[in-house]
């Protein structure tokens, strides 16, 4: 392992956007630590670490594996997320635990450890959080208060951490997504979902990956919430 090679941790890496990000960061020359509840890899420069980020200590364990294997952490992409769309009064305690466990506890645990590792290395770093446009553009067709509650927290903490660590060379950004063509959405819903975006289509995984790669390479950008939502946040 070249000690100058950059290292990225990708959460939610087993499928969809996360899997796309693993490939993208490898193309950028990064070694990658891929984590999800179930994940594997045949690439020697990709360390697969299975784990449930909603469980306390899992995020710290992923960071420890990354440091033991590669010796440093340069980027963390918090892609793992849980989404349950229901009327607010239909949510259960179990729904809350499931969504908050991944979206908040998972973010907190792994980000705290990753930032500590970046500070110890002294070469700066980058966090990217995956949020949703529903945070600032509520939609009556998508009752998703738990998404707004938790992902709204990520949007807020993105700016907070960007300012807290700017002088230490650590950038923190987020992408706020519209509806993306991933395994989360059945194929027979795509046409209906496309109509919810001013551009008239749903997003593709590559749309998100390209936005995150831009943020990775935009060294003067921090505290940014980049909407990748087909125009949803601008209006309809």
pLDDT the model gives residue 187: 80
In this predicted model, what pLDDT tens digit does every residue of 36-61 receive, in sequence order? 999 988 899 999 999 999 999 999 99
Q: How far apart are CA 154 and CA 106, in angstroms?
A: 11
Angle between helices 145-165 and 107-121 (to 10 degrees): 10
DSSP result, 48-68: EEE--TTSTTHHHHHHHHHHH
In this predicted model, what pLDDT tens digit does every residue of 71-112 receive, in sequence order? 999 999 999 999 998 999 999 999 999 999 999 999 999 999
In this predicted model, what pLDDT tens digit does every residue of 1-41 receive, in sequence order? 456 899 999 999 999 999 999 999 999 999 999 999 999 88
Q: What are phi and psi of 221, to 5 degrees?
A: -115, 120
pLDDT the model gives residue 2: 55
DSSP category for residue 15: S
Nearest CA among 140, 206, 220, 135 for reference residue 173:
220
* 7-234 to CATH, choices 3.100.10.10, 3.90.228.20, 3.40.50.880, 3.40.50.720: 3.40.50.720
Nearest CA among 157, 162, 81 for reference residue 125:
162
pLDDT the model gives residue 138: 82
Taking residues 172-182, what's their average pLDDT?
93
What average pLDDT does the chain have? Answer: 93
Q: How far apart are CA 134 and CA 93, in angstroms?
A: 22
For 162-169, the CB contacts below 8 A with 24+ separation are: 162/222, 162/223, 163/223, 165/115, 165/119, 166/222, 166/223, 168/118, 168/119, 168/124, 169/123, 169/124, 169/125
């Amino acid at each position: 392992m070249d000690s100058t090679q950059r290292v990225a941790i990708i959460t939610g890496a087993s499928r969809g956007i996360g899997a796309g990000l693993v490939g993208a960061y490898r193309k950028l020359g990064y070694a990658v630590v891929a984590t999800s509840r179930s994940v594997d890899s045949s690439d020697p420069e990709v360390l697969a670490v299975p784990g449930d980020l909603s469980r306390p200590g899992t995020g710290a364990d992923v960071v420890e594996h990354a440091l033991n294997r590669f010796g440093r952490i340069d980027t963390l992409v918090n892609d793992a997320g849980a989404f349950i769309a229901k009327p607010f009064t239909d949510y259960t305690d179990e729904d809350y635990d499931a969504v908050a466990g991944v979206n908040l506890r998972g973010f907190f645990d792994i980000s705290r450890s990753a930032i500590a590792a970046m500070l110890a290395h002294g070469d700066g770093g980058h966090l990217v959080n995956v949020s949703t446009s529903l945070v600032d553009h509520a939609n009556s067709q998508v009752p998703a208060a738990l998404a707004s509650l938790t992902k709204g927290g990520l949007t807020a903490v993105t700016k907070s951490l960007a300012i807290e660590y700017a002088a230490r060379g650590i950038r923190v950004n987020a992408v706020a997504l519209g509806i993306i063509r991933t395994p989360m959405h059945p194929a027979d819903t795509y046409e209906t979902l496309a109509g919810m975006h001013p551009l008239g289509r749903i997003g593709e995984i590559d749309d998100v990956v390209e936005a995150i790669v831009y943020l990775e390479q935009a060294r003067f950008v921090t505290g940014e919430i980049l909407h990748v939502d087909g125009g949803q946040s601008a209006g309809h």
